[in-house]
Amino acid sequence: MADHRNPPGVGPAIQEVSEKAQLLIREEIALAKAELTEKVTKLVKGAVVGIVAGVFALLGLLYLLDALSWFTWKLVQGGGGDDFWLGFLIVAILLFVLGAIAGFLASRFIKRGSPPTPKLAIEEAQLIKQTISSSTATPASRSEARS
């Protein structure tokens, strides 16, 4: 009678391979989470700076309209001597410059974090898939070559 039991050591080897595969999957998931967290953080940072840029632009518009109002008042009054509008205009220009800088920074932050895909985890998973497929194809091709 032929003994059809597994050779000693196959069971522990299968268990070890299973444990290693589970560990690999957990590490890949952790890598994907870390990448997504980093990219989402960059997107949020860009969005916050974009909101700040919008606030500066809105405040600049308000000051510009206020300066225009004072200038109009001065034209109507015939140049009475109080140049309030010039101060408002300078503040409006400063706010527009700050808004432009913040908008530029926001676009850079958003471009860095967009799209939020875990590229490293995907590349690593594809590499593992290629390695596994090439290692499983190797024994079959060897047995075919022997026949």
pLDDT tens digits, 74-124: 776 766 666 667 777 887 888 889 889 988 988 888 787 667 677 777 787
The predicted structure's pLDDT at residue 56: 92
Tell me the Cα Rg of the chain.
Answer: 33
88 falls within a domain = yes
Task: Compute the distance between CA of residue 87 and CA of residue 95 in angstroms, rounded to an integer.
Answer: 12
Mean pLDDT of 19-44: 85
- Please calculate the CA angle 38-40-45 and round it to the nearest 5 degrees: 95
Closest alpha carbon to 67 in 82, 88, 81: 88
81 falls within a domain = yes
User: Which DSSP letter does residue 8 get?
Assistant: T
Q: Do residues 101 and 45 lie in contact, with contact meaning Cβ atoms separated by under 8 Å?
A: no
Total domains in the chain come to: 1
Tell me the HSE value of 83 on the side-chain side, using a 13 A CA sphere: 4
70 falls within a domain = yes
Sign of CA dihedral 51, 57, 58, 60: positive
Tokens matching residue 5: 């039991």
Q: Give the range of the structural domain holding residue 88, as residue numbers without chain letter.
A: 60-114
Assign 55 a pLDDT band (cuts: 50, 70, 90). very high
72 falls within a domain = yes
93 falls within a domain = yes
145 falls within a domain = no
53 falls within a domain = no
107 falls within a domain = yes
